[in-house]
Amino acid sequence: MKHIRFTGRLVIVGFGSIGQGVLPLILKHIDLDPKKISIVTAEERGHGEAKDYGIRFIRQALTRENYRDVLGPLISEGDFLLNVSVDVSSIALIEYCRDKGALYLDTCIEPWVGGYTDTSLSPSQRSNYALRETALKLKSASAPTAVITHGANPGLVSHLVKQAMLNIARDTGVTLAKPTNRAEWGALAERLSIKVIHIAERDTQVASLPKGVNEFVNTWSIDGFVGEGAQPAELGWGSHEKALPGDGFRHDFGCDAAIYLMRPGASVRVRSWTPFEGPFHGFLITHGEAISISDYYTQRRDGVVRYRPTTHYAYHPCDDAVLSIHELAGKNWHRQGTKRLLMEEIVSGIDELGVLLMGHAKGAYWFGSQLTIDEARQLAPYNNATSLQVTVAVLAGMVWALENPRVGVIEPDELDFERILEICNPYLGDVVGRYSDWTPLQDRGGLFPEDIDTADPWQFKNFRVI
């Protein structure tokens, strides 16, 4: 079914796994002329797929120096720029689209090339927290809509959090009118006593050809994963937390909803849980939703924070990606000589992506998508289980932007979660909710002494793997 008609031009910046995967979804669900679509990308890959659909393909890397000249003939008032690139400044493109009167969507806030690892900047200055603060300064109610950070995570998971909270409220006998604004959602989270929110993901997809030496293998953008994995670990910092980690620091600017650790995210592991996998160790990779979710649900009294949940990513990628990270760390975070995106060679597996809400009356509740590789292939071409969870959320964000074209810069937490889930659900496989009595203290009475807080299982120190 077509969700909406669009008569303007569409420019897709970047055409890796997400660009290639979202194109058939856009053509299926948005009524637009393929001749009005242009792809601008730094690499040749995807050219054949674009040609199959009759889409204009421009191989040209966007830089600080040329992006206005390259995009000038392609973007004007009423058009749409979809940014699924790496190494291209989201802030620059948002400002450009605002000046042109064009709509915009990205899946994360990217800096220019080298920005993630620029040692002339402090860890705080090159964090996702800092990138978000810069983007939010561009907010204006009268500007063209610019949806920021709307893939699977960040993006889809913010909508899963809201549905999960409504489910918990229903199941614990909390009667209420459905929240309609930020203050009411925050009040519900506080009333339910949600102390911790994990974006808990376990990818079990397996390829016929295993990872080789000096090769980085993953089920989604290798460059994107390496970039964010090398950034400092970041997490939203809850009001129930008793003490900062020894390597943890606050920022001296902005909303103060998050902290960072003086370690690359791909070197920090945390305990988490999903229904299919059970307990697992995931990587605390920095992600925008860890900051925006904690900020969105913050409750204050007389300007002082009364309630805020701790929020962070807990990611166990496919096993070949775990081996790739191990090798990457051994090379002091310099990427291997070759890279391989897993797609056709995947023979089995599932991507279990959801949100794990903890501390409420029923303990822990996971709500999310369990999508197999076989289901993903049946639902959309050029996708695996991981990419489809991202690309359908990109589609949903685009549709929402077209339906709401003049709200300026806006985050996933501020969108209509029911409209987004309505579009996404047919592509997410089994969408399930599961309660659990799991805590990060489970089975911890063992071989080695540990500094844990048995009085409050939901302290971050209990989740972190030392």
**What are φ and ψ of residue 167, in 5° steps?**
-65, -45
- Cα–Cα distance, 256 to 73 (Å, whole number): 41
**pLDDT per residue as tens digits for the range 222-236:** 999 999 999 999 999
Report which of 24, 45, 20 is spatially closest to residue 34, judged by C-alpha positions: 24
Report which of 148, 393, 127 is spatially closest to residue 286, judged by C-alpha positions: 127
The predicted structure's pLDDT at residue 118: 81
Q: Is the pLDDT of residue 448 over 80?
A: no
The predicted structure's pLDDT at residue 266: 97
Q: Using 50, 70 and 90 to split pLDDT, how confident is the model at 10?
A: very high
Determine how many CB atoms are found less than 10 A away from the CB of residue 338. Answer: 12
Q: Using 50, 70 and 90 to split pLDDT, how confident is the model at 447?
A: low
**pLDDT per residue as tens digits for the range 44-97:** 999 999 999 999 999 999 999 999 999 999 999 999 999 999 999 999 999 999
Is-contact 146 79, C-beta < 8 A? no
Is-contact 102 144, C-beta < 8 A? yes
The CATH number of the structural domain formed by 156-379+429-465 is 3.30.360.30
How open is the CA angle 50-52-55, to the nearest 5 degrees?
40
- State the virtual CA torsion across 107, 113, 117, 123 in degrees, nearest 10: -60
Q: What is the mean pLDDT of the chain?
A: 96
User: 3-class secondary structure for the chain?
Assistant: CCCEECCCCEEEECCCHHHHHHHHHHHHHEECCHHHEEEEECCCCCHHHHHHCCCEEEECCCCCCCHHHHHCCCCCCCCEEEECCCCCCHHHHHHHHHHHCCEEEECCCCCCCCHHHCCCCCCCCCCHHHHHHHHHCCCCCCCCCEECCCECCCEHHHHHHHHHHHHHHHHCCCCCCCCCCHHHHHHHHHHHCCCEEEEEEEECCEECCCCCCCEEEECCCHHHHHHHHHCEEEEECCCCCCCCCCCEEECCCCCCCEEEEEEEHHHCEEEEEECCCEEEEEECCCCHHHHHHHHHCCEEECCEEEECCEEEEEEECCHHHHHHHHHHHHCCCCCCCEEEECCCCEEECEEEEEEEEEEECCEEEEEEEEEEHHHHHHHCCCCCHHHHHHHHHHHHHHHHHHHCCCCCEECHHHCCHHHHHHHHHHHCEEEEEEEECCCCCCCCCCCCCCCCCCCCCCCHHHHEEC
pTM above 0.85, yes or no: yes
- Cα–Cα distance, 293 to 182 (Å, whole number): 11
- Cα–Cα distance, 140 to 274 (Å, whole number): 39
**pLDDT per residue as tens digits for the range 113-172:** 887 778 888 999 999 999 999 999 999 988 999 999 999 999 999 999 999 999 999 999
Residue 323: exposed, middle, or buried by beta-carbon count in 10 A (0-12, 13-18, 19+)?
A: middle
- Cα–Cα distance, 32 to 27 (Å, whole number): 7
Q: Is the pLDDT of residue 445 over 80?
A: no
Domain ranges of the chain: 4-147, 156-379+429-465
**pLDDT per residue as tens digits for the range 356-395:** 999 999 999 999 999 999 999 999 999 999 999 999 999 9
Helix 156-171 × helix 417-424 angle, to 10°: 110
Whether cis (ω within 30° of 0) applies to the bond prior to 457 is no
- Cα–Cα distance, 27 to 53 (Å, whole number): 9
Q: Is the pLDDT of residue 299 over 80?
A: yes
**pLDDT per residue as tens digits for the range 246-291:** 999 999 999 999 999 999 999 999 999 999 999 999 999 999 999 9
Q: Identity (one letter) of the amino acid at 30?
A: I
Helix 156-171 × helix 385-403 angle, to 10°: 90
- Cα–Cα distance, 344 to 393 (Å, whole number): 22
**pLDDT per residue as tens digits for the range 168-205:** 999 999 988 899 999 999 999 999 999 999 999 999 99
| Domain covering 4-147: architecture | 3-Layer(aba) Sandwich (3.40)
